[in-house]
Structure 1
Amino acid sequence: MANEERIEAAADARRPGTRIVLATHNAHKVAELRRILGDRLGMHELVGYEGPEPVEDGATFAENALIKARAAAKHTGLPALADDSGIAVDALGGAPGIQSARYAGTRDDRDNYELLLRNLEGAADRSAQFVCAAAFVDGEFEHVELGIWPGRVLDAPAGEHGFGYDPVFQPDGSDVSSAEMTPEEKNAVSHRTRAFAAIMPMVRERLG
């Protein structure tokens, strides 16, 4: 590397990081993503979003993640990260899918997973997967990555950690639910971790 390039690289390393808005009002998700992203953010700072929630009328996790990221980027003028995630159950044709958070009509986690258990009563196939689409929007630039966490739906809820469908989801290769895992154990392997681990190298490259 030439001396001029070394000087420029050193100067770049001292520049303050860019603020990135996390496009969600879900406090559980904010806390989890802060833990997941951690050192992956480098010098960049993750900030909360208090703007309006857009209508999530996409047909896929990826489309809804982009809708949220675009809205946050437009409202704040900052680069934005968003995710859309849920559980897809094979015996239910992929449901609840993108309707996971609204499955029971109440937006209550317990109501949602209890309805899921009722709908799976007697089902021999309980295979399922958590799906996460992570989206990044910076001006006209957009990018999405998917993370998949395969497993099965339990017969009854177990565990006190996590949120959403964690109490009724048992990941492949585990003998406990994702709600029985510690946050560190879950964040090492989850769908959200997989999606954001995949997207962050591009985010860092884009932002410098």
Structure 2
Amino acid sequence: MKKICFATNNPNKLKEIQQQLDGLYEVVSLKEINCNEELPETQETLEGNSAQKAQYVWDNYQVSCFADDTGLEVNALNGDPGVYSARYAGPQRDSDDNMDLVLKNLEGKSDRSARFRTVITLVWNGEIKQVDGIAEGEIIKERTGDQGFGYDPIFRPIGHEKTFAQLSASEKNEISHRGKAVTKLIELLKSI
């Protein structure tokens, strides 16, 4: 089985991706390739951060890999938190703090439309390709559900009564931004 590194140490993301790749590749984490440093994320776009992380792993470890960057883009907040989603409420990267700040900033606003967007960069033997996925939805007024991670408890996708945090992993993967991007990634990997 071919091995590929997912440039993350987030166990939730790793598990989600492993389920979706379903044995197509052996997916390993950064720790498993002995990459213990924080990957650079200094770009101003999701595309830039995703490419920067994947290229860093290739340049420093010569391991084919893919990296993602995901942002929650809220229309009434001019697309924020966007590329800063993980650290929206500060460098502590606390999901509860981040959700609290989004909810606070949306107080009194009628437009609660938002989207999750994921960009995945694949570096395979030095060659770079990018795919993306988008999930449109809205920010609800209070946390609902205890599945998932990040902003999932306050994001309800269009056409659904439940938040991402109320859906099972398989239900979420079918409609989520990351699920859509991974579907495109799988097509790329099958062609390699």
TM-score range, shorter chain: over 0.9
Counting only pairs closer than 5 Å after superposition, residues 165-180 of structure 1 correspond to structure 2 as 165-180=151-166
2:59 matched to 1:74? yes
2:3 matched to 1:54? no
- For residue 84 of structure 1, report the CA deviation from its aligned partner: 0.4
Partner of 2:68 in structure 1?
A: 83
2:129 matched to 1:148? no
- For residue 81 of structure 1, report the CA deviation from its aligned partner: 1.1
- CA separation in 2, counterparts of 1:91 and 1:158? 21
- For residue 57 of structure 1, report the CA deviation from its aligned partner: 1.1
State whether residues 136 and 144 of structure 1, in contact with CA within 8 Å, keep that contact through their aligned partners in structure 2.
yes
State whether residues 53 and 68 of structure 1, in contact with CA within 8 Å, keep that contact through their aligned partners in structure 2.
no
- For residue 60 of structure 1, report the CA deviation from its aligned partner: 1.2
- Structure ranking higher in helix proportion: 1
Partner of 1:115 in structure 2?
A: 101
The share of aligned pairs that are identical, in percent, is 37
- For residue 74 of structure 1, report the CA deviation from its aligned partner: 2.5
- Residue by residue over 1:110-163, the C-alpha shift from the partner in whole angstroms, topping out at 9 and shown as x without a partner, is 110111000000111000001000110023310111100000000111000000
Counting only pairs closer than 5 Å after superposition, residues 1-208 of structure 1 correspond to structure 2 as 17-39=1-23, 41=24, 44-50=25-31, 51=35, 52-105=37-90, 106-206=92-192
Unmatched runs of 5 consecutive residues or more in structure 2: none
Residue 54 of structure 2 aligns to a residue in which SS? helix
- CA separation in 2, counterparts of 1:122 and 1:96? 18
- For residue 54 of structure 1, report the CA deviation from its aligned partner: 2.3
**So what's the TM-score if we normalise by structure 1?**
0.86
Paired residues, what number?
Answer: 187
Larger radius of gyration: 1
- For residue 205 of structure 1, report the CA deviation from its aligned partner: 1.6
**So what's the TM-score if we normalise by structure 2?**
0.93
Residue 83 of structure 2 aligns to a residue in which SS? helix
Unmatched runs of 5 consecutive residues or more in structure 1: 1-16
Residue type at the aligned position of 1:196:
V
- CA separation in 1, counterparts of 2:67 and 2:22? 16
What is the Cα-based RMSD across aligned positions, in Å? 1.2
- For residue 204 of structure 1, report the CA deviation from its aligned partner: 2.5
Residue 179 of structure 1 aligns to a residue in which SS? helix
Residue 164 of structure 1 aligns to a residue in which SS? coil
- For residue 176 of structure 1, report the CA deviation from its aligned partner: 1.2
State whether residues 64 and 126 of structure 2, in contact with CA within 8 Å, keep that contact through their aligned partners in structure 1.
no
State whether residues 137 and 157 of structure 2, in contact with CA within 8 Å, keep that contact through their aligned partners in structure 1.
yes
